[in-house]
Structure 1
Amino acid sequence: MLNRDNLFTWPPAVFFWALICALLWGSAFPLVKTGIVMLSIQDSTGGKLYFAAYRFLLAGLMIFAGVRLSGRSVSLPRPGDYGAMAITGLFQTTLQYTFFYIGLSNTTGVKASIIISAGSFFLALCSHLLFKDDPITSRKSIGLIFGFLGILLVNLQGHGLDFQVTLTGEGFILLAAISSTLALVVVKKVSVRVYPPLMSAYQLVIGALILFLLGLFLEPPSMMTFSGPSLALLLYLSFLSAAAFSIWYLLIRHNRLSSIAAYRFLIPVCAVLLSVALLEGEHLEWPALVALVLVCLGIVLTSRE
């Protein structure tokens, strides 16, 4: 039964919080596309970096404000933790989103969605190698395979796959998945002594500042002009990042990494469903429904003790 002590460890509660994260992150896919069109930065790499930088900077500041209002200190326990937060911000925010946006512009959405899901396999493997209490069992392996098949199926909606690979396309998407995995390993090691939402705040702010600096090398910040609707959209995207990262880091703190890896499959599935609901021209076909079943099977097999 759910109580304060097992709020982030009881399996049904873990599923609930993971689903909340997936819905929040999934809503970002159609809304980021909408924002890029509203800001007229479809062909501007610098504009996309600024858009991401503003989003994650505001998200980090929101979390800092929430931590202070709760009466907690925003200081980290050890001086070395600041370095860990810088590494997390570099991998989780700066590198992941730089590789993702550039890679996505040089490959298809189908291939990008499938390749980015490889992060779950990297996460389970790294967790197995680095944490003694997190072995990869045959059941867990089968669960991950079911989840990956679900992602493959949900993307096969009238589109084809090919095996052409480029460094700045498929290669960068793979690097984005690896960057996120490395960041989560650091989070798992540091979260035993650092309040997870505070970790989220530091990595988001640090990563956003680096993204902004990268954008300066490409275009001046003045190239972006926000209107009322685009500013409201930015604020929502910032809120969802603040909430999702904070909850996700709490789940990582209290659970095995390989078990949490299975829930990452929910994100692209939610993204597809929300895209159908929010974007014109998107249709829900039977592969998406079958994919949901495969993903749920993967979650049960991977997270069940």
Structure 2
Amino acid sequence: MNYTSCMAILACLLWSSAFAGIKIGLLYTTLLHFAGVRFMLAGLLVLPFCGNIFSTLAQIRAHLGTVLIIAFFQTTFLYSLFYLGLDLLPGAVAAIVIGTQPLVVAGVAHFFAPAERMTTRKAVSLLFGGAGVLAIAANRGEMAIEGPLALLGIGLLLLSNFSGAASNLLVARETMDINPLVLNSAQLIIGGGFLFLLSKIIEDRSLVNYEAPYFVSLAWLSFLSAAALSIWFQLLKRDGVRVSDLNIWKFLIPLAGACLSWLLVEGESPTPGVLAGMCSIVVALLVLNINGRFWRTFKKKHDSHEL
């Protein structure tokens, strides 16, 4: 297993723990306020690792337009849609829609990035991964979709997936002259700041209630956002890394989330459906990482058989 795969797994394991922290934090505060504070703190956590402060500011100033666009798509727009959509849907339905992100990224990349065309191997990997997400979610919660608000929630989460796809492509293609840590720190602080200001305008501040669990969840979510996104931005800028292939690793998030539930939530235990979904995701990742020579040989034999 190479460096890119190992670091992608680490980032996805960090992200898989976010849902528990979000549920806890939202017991004490409002959606956008919580997101805004979380991401501003995450950006500040990354800042000391960016190097010389004057060089950092110079890079941000030189690429301010790109930083603002990525801050919008990766943080402000994505997470305002994410949190609002999450609040309108049963957990299992939300998990399925969120789990379509690798499919959305692959589709967007196919049409907007010539080097990221859909391949047979990628399509097979996405098929198994999507089936795995569906199986895990379907066996872990209420699947009913009722009323226009639920449909709105699905639409918001799908839009957040498209926003994430756009930001991933932008980071990979348009930011070659800026340190990925500088880019991540700046976009988190700016994007989180916009979310915080938006919360001041549209949310009821009387609902905020600061207690110890709020600060614990905020600290953990800020750390994982800082660490996971910094890893992800650096991977997106590595030579030879394809955005759509990298995002297939995100199928690990529901798998790891299910394992965490078994460990931390009383009454949670493996079911045949969840285990089948996990196996499907493992197959997806194996297909993605099959040796290229082996896959080309297999495909050539399959094509000759069809002829």
Identify whether the pair has TM-score above 0.5, normalized to the shorter chain.
yes
Give the alignment partner of residue 81 of structure 1, picking from 49, 63, 69: 63
1:19-49 per-residue CA deviation (whole Å, 9 max, x = no partner) reads: 2111111111112112223x2x4xxxxx121
Q: Which deviates more, 100-109 or 276-285?
A: 276-285
1:271-299 per-residue CA deviation (whole Å, 9 max, x = no partner) reads: 22223322344333232222222112212
Give the alignment partner of residue 224 of structure 1, picking from 188, 208, 212: 208
Deviation at residue 72 of structure 1 after TM alignment: 8.3
1:258 aligns with 2:244: yes
Aligned twin of 2:226 = 242
Aligned twin of 2:138 = 156
1:184 aligns with 2:165: no
Instruction: Classify the secondary structure of the residue corresponding to 2:23.
Output: helix
List alignment gaps of at least 5 residues for structure 1.
1-10, 42-46
Please tell me whether the aligned partners of residues 84 and 153 of structure 2 are also in contact (alpha carbons under 8 angstroms): yes
Letter in 1 for 2:20: P
1:31 aligns with 2:21: yes
Please tell me whether the aligned partners of residues 143 and 298 of structure 1 are also in contact (alpha carbons under 8 angstroms): yes
Deviation at residue 194 of structure 1 after TM alignment: 1.7
Please tell me whether the aligned partners of residues 24 and 213 of structure 2 are also in contact (alpha carbons under 8 angstroms): no
Deviation at residue 79 of structure 1 after TM alignment: 5.0
- Cα distance change of structure 1 residues 222 and 67 upon mapping to structure 2, 3 Å threshold: farther
Q: Which deviates more, 83-92 or 152-161?
A: 152-161
Deviation at residue 235 of structure 1 after TM alignment: 1.5
Instruction: Classify the secondary structure of the residue corresponding to 1:14.
Output: helix
Please tell me whether the aligned partners of residues 141 and 302 of structure 1 are also in contact (alpha carbons under 8 angstroms): no
Please tell me whether the aligned partners of residues 91 and 141 of structure 2 are also in contact (alpha carbons under 8 angstroms): no
Deviation at residue 215 of structure 1 after TM alignment: 0.5
Aligned twin of 1:3 = none
Letter in 1 for 2:48: A
Aligned 1:1-305 pairs, distance under 5 A:
11-37=1-27, 39=28, 41=29, 47-68=30-51, 73-75=55-57, 77=59, 81-157=63-139, 159=141, 161-162=143-144, 166=148, 167-219=151-203, 221=205, 223-254=207-238, 255-304=241-290, 305=292
- Cα distance change of structure 1 residues 287 and 197 upon mapping to structure 2, 3 Å threshold: farther
Deviation at residue 187 of structure 1 after TM alignment: 0.9
Letter in 1 for 2:40: L
Letter in 1 for 2:230: S
Letter in 1 for 2:92: V
In 2, the alpha carbon distance for the partners of 1:12 and 1:292 equals 22
Please tell me whether the aligned partners of residues 90 and 144 of structure 2 are also in contact (alpha carbons under 8 angstroms): no
Aligned twin of 1:5 = none
Q: Which deviates more, 286-295 or 193-202?
A: 286-295
Deviation at residue 197 of structure 1 after TM alignment: 1.7
In 1, the alpha carbon distance for the partners of 2:47 and 2:97 equals 33
Instruction: Classify the secondary structure of the residue corresponding to 2:117.
Output: coil
User: Which one has a larger percent helix, Structure 1 or Structure 2?
Assistant: 2
- Cα distance change of structure 1 residues 59 and 83 upon mapping to structure 2, 3 Å threshold: same
Q: Which deviates more, 240-249 or 252-261?
A: 252-261
Deviation at residue 73 of structure 1 after TM alignment: 2.5
Deviation at residue 93 of structure 1 after TM alignment: 1.2
Letter in 1 for 2:277: A
Please tell me whether the aligned partners of residues 31 and 84 of structure 2 are also in contact (alpha carbons under 8 angstroms): no
Normalised by the length of structure 2, the TM-score is 0.85
In 1, the alpha carbon distance for the partners of 2:147 and 2:49 equals 44
Letter in 1 for 2:191: G
Q: Alpha carbon RMSD of aligned pairs, Å? A: 2.3
Letter in 2 for 1:178: F
Count of residue pairs brought into register by the alignment: 287
Letter in 2 for 1:35: G
1:85-115 per-residue CA deviation (whole Å, 9 max, x = no partner) reads: 1111111111222112221222222221111
In 1, the alpha carbon distance for the partners of 2:166 and 2:13 equals 23
1:174-229 per-residue CA deviation (whole Å, 9 max, x = no partner) reads: 11111111111111112422211221111111111111111011236575243344
